[in-house]
Amino acid sequence: MDFPTIHTNFWDGVIAVPAVVILTQCFKLLPIPRQYFPTIASILGFLISIFISHRGNLWAGLFMGAFYGAAAVGTYSSLKTAWLAYKQRKEKKKGKSRY
């Protein structure tokens, strides 16, 4: 069995992953429990990869779809953690200057 040839290109890192993040954020407008959002991101990653970026090659679509979903979840998580740490540091600094 030959492994599929998978080409990582501009689409993968700059367009597909942010698209999954943005579409997942749009789902937050619906009354869906928060614990399902990583699954939603994975499903969106698979759908975009299979039907748009790797049409005609199911194995490449599945393989890259897993990366799209995981990269979107990781990107969102790291941005949220950095933002919360920044806010906490700013509040801590603000609290020390009062006394």
Predicted confidence (pLDDT) per residue in 28-83, tens digit: 999 999 999 999 999 999 999 999 988 888 998 999 999 999 999 999 999 999 99
The answer to whether 68 touches 17, Cβ cutoff 8 Å, is yes
Q: How many other CB atoms sit within 10 Å of the CB of residue 65?
A: 24
* More reliable by pLDDT, 10 or 32: 32
Please give the pLDDT value at position 56. 87
Q: How far apart are CA 45 and CA 4, in angstroms?
A: 18
pTM of the predicted protein model = 0.79
